[in-house]
Amino acid sequence: MRLEGKVAVITGGASGIGRETALVFAREGASVGIWDFDESGIEVAQHIEKNGGKSFFARVDVSKIQEVEKALEETEKELGNIDILINNAGITRDGFLTKMASEDWQKVIEVNLTGVFNCSQAVARKMMERQEGVIINSSSVVGVHGNVGQSNYSATKSGVIGLTKTWSKELGKKGIRVNAVAPGFIATPMTEKVPGKILDMMREKTPLGRLGQPEDIANAYLFLASDEGAFVNGAVLQVDGGLVL
């Protein structure tokens, strides 16, 4: 029970990596706040409750600060002070530079980058009052290495790394650790949109010979959120099976 007595908020917790993280954190003793625009997050919260855990779902668009602040207020009322924030929510709108629509560029920036800023700013203010907390941001290997057809996504995930390193310096002295996880290609609903031949190529390029599973990332989040990662701050943990793009 590595998170016993802790309250964790997981954005994008309705499906994929976020859903698995919510379940893993609940099994480790955390009360889990699930923030997602997708209302199937209600089912995740209900599953946790049925298995003896404590959970709360808030429908929120992380790109809108008013919705984030409302979700924060509701979550604290239901679960208590937030100890852990997992900025996991993200979207893709892929396209080559010369063909990418401006609205696709803007939407990915709003969710993947502004959303991380909004949630972190709101929660960090509360954490600073108590002089403790953990913030973990979801980056990506494409934020480190880039990827064809993902100008918007790569830019946001590189930006998340910059935010992580900056906040680790700003907030570390306040007792708040900030780290990032950079997943490789993970078998989630998001990657189901990727053509099969591309996924096959990624498997071939990955030394471990497979795509990652959501639990691979959830376990990385767990390590960084727990006391086992108490001296890890400002790190970007690549969880990609050895993939080099």
Q: Residue 56: beta bridge partners?
A: 33
C-alpha closest to that of 112 among 136, 135, 130, 88: 88
Stated pTM of the model:
0.95
Q: Identify the pLDDT of residue 230.
A: 98
Q: Identify the pLDDT of residue 189.
A: 79
Q: Identify the pLDDT of residue 245.
A: 52
Catalogue the E-assigned strands of 53-138. 55-59, 84-87, 133-138
Fold that domain 7-239 belongs to in CATH: Rossmann fold (3.40.50)
C-alpha closest to that of 16 among 88, 102, 69: 88
The model's pLDDT over 99-154, given as tens digits with 9 standing for 90+, comes to 999 999 999 999 999 999 999 999 999 999 999 999 999 999 999 999 899 999 99
Q: Identify the pLDDT of residue 204.
A: 87
**Rounded CA gap, 35 and 89, in Å?**
9
Residue 123, phi then psi, degrees to nearest 5: -75, -40
Query: Which residue in this structure is represented by tokens 């310096």?
Result: 169
Q: Identify the pLDDT of residue 84.
A: 99
DSSP 113: I
Q: Identify the pLDDT of residue 200.
A: 86
Q: Residue 181: beta bridge partners?
A: 138, 237
Q: Active-site residues: which are they? A: 153
Structure tokens at 166: 């900056």
Q: Identify the pLDDT of residue 180.
A: 98
Structure tokens at 101: 């629509």
| Residues in the chain with pLDDT values less than 70 | 245
**Rounded CA gap, 180 and 165, in Å?**
9
